[in-house]
Amino acid sequence: MGNTTSRLTNTLVKQSKVREKEYNLADGDGLYLRIRPSGTRSWLFNYPRPFSKQRTNLSLGKYPYLSLADARSEAQGFKHLLAKDVDPKAYVIEQSKKEGLAYLTTFEVVAKKWLARKRENISTSYYKKITSRLQLHVYKKLGKTPLHKVNAADTIEILEPLAKEGKLETIDNICGWINEIMVYAVNTGLIFSNPLSGIRKAFNAPKTVNLPTLKPEELPELMLVLEL
């Protein structure tokens, strides 16, 4: 693939003709449009790999889904990586692995790992309470969300129906558990920070109900009951 001083234009790319054999149109700086006999047009970035200097192609995407301008932008980004001796192909593979792992690490998956650890220190009844509340009010809408996409606005919206029903104590409990889950995620290196740390403040606090006090004249009766 030889270099050329002429650059591609949108018109030239759009009007490029199919031939019996595949061929490439060069845009310069390692960017090429490969045209196959099937009519498929794909952008390629051709570059020398760091250290070995062996030339290789990196597929950027198909035209017209990836425009000429966007292909140039991606190629420029890879040139910046090469300036730092970072192999673009290795970089793309590594990023794909990270994104794949991020999408497998959903809120529900992490919540269940947290709950399994917490179960060792709580009663069976409390464990069942947490599990049922999360399943009923949280997992249905937040469970499949990748952890790195969990945010305060969406979480508050999920809990709004409980607020309208006046179930403020339930909200208070859920906010506490959700924050424990997110702190667990931070401490295990899954996310860098907890975006839900302030969601409790979006709701009214549950009212504290004080236990009734006994009148002095009622104490003798209480003592008799306790002795029974």
Sequential DSSP letters for the chain: ----S----HHHHHTPPP-SS-EEEEEETTEEEEE-TTS-EEEEEEEEPTTT--EEEEEEEEETTS-HHHHHHHHHHHHHHHHTT--HHHHHHHHHHHHHHHHHSBHHHHHHHHHHHHGGGS-HHHHHHHHHHHIIIIIHHHTTSBGGG--HHHHHHHHHHHHHTT-HHHHHHHHHHHHHHHHHHHHTTS-SS-TTTTGGGGSPPPPP-PPPPPPGGGHHHHHHHHH-
Give the residue numbers spanning the domain of 39.
10-84
Q: pLDDT > 70: what percent of the chain? A: 88
> Distance between CA 139 and CA 131 in Å, rounded?
10
Q: Is residue 4 part of a domain?
A: no
What pLDDT is recorded for position 215? 63
Asked whether residue 214 carries a pLDDT value surpassing 90, the answer given is no
> Distance between CA 161 and CA 171 in Å, rounded?
10
What pLDDT is recorded for position 76? 94
Statement to judge: residues 63 and 111 lie in one domain: no
Statement to judge: residues 115 and 184 lie in one domain: yes
Amino acid 114 reads W
Statement to judge: residues 79 and 112 lie in one domain: no
Q: Given pLDDT bands bounded at 50, 70 and 90, which one contains residue 3?
A: very low
The residue-averaged pLDDT of 191-206 equals 90
Statement to judge: residues 187 and 111 lie in one domain: yes
Statement to judge: residues 123 and 70 lie in one domain: no
Q: Given pLDDT bands bounded at 50, 70 and 90, which one contains residue 4?
A: very low
Statement to judge: residues 141 and 192 lie in one domain: yes
Q: Is residue 96 part of a domain?
A: no
pTM metric for this prediction: 0.54
How confident is the prediction for the chain on average, in pLDDT? Answer: 88
Q: Is residue 226 part of a domain?
A: no
What pLDDT is recorded for position 226? 57
Cross-sheet strand order for the sheet of 23-28? 23-28, 31-35, 41-48, 55-63
Quote the tokens at residue 31.
Answer: 């960017």
Statement to judge: residues 49 and 127 lie in one domain: no
Q: Is residue 95 part of a domain?
A: no
Statement to judge: residues 126 and 190 lie in one domain: yes
Statement to judge: residues 123 and 171 lie in one domain: yes
Read off the pLDDT of residues 10-22 as tens digits, 9 standing for 90 and up. 999 999 999 999 9
Statement to judge: residues 70 and 139 lie in one domain: no
Read off the pLDDT of residues 112-162 as tens digits, 9 standing for 90 and up. 999 999 998 999 999 999 999 999 999 999 999 999 899 999 999 999 999
Q: Is residue 78 part of a domain?
A: yes
Q: Is residue 222 part of a domain?
A: no
CATH of the domain at 125: 1.10.150.130
Read off the pLDDT of residues 29-42 as tens digits, 9 standing for 90 and up. 999 999 999 999 99
What pLDDT is recorded for position 223? 64
Q: Given pLDDT bands bounded at 50, 70 and 90, which one contains residue 1?
A: very low
CATH of the domain at 15: 3.30.160.390
Q: Given pLDDT bands bounded at 50, 70 and 90, which one contains residue 46?
A: very high
Number of domains in the chain: 2
Statement to judge: residues 78 and 114 lie in one domain: no
Q: Is residue 153 part of a domain?
A: yes
More confident call, 226 vs 140? 140
Statement to judge: residues 80 and 113 lie in one domain: no
Q: Is residue 196 part of a domain?
A: yes
Q: Given pLDDT bands bounded at 50, 70 and 90, which one contains residue 49?
A: very high
What pLDDT is recorded for position 2? 45
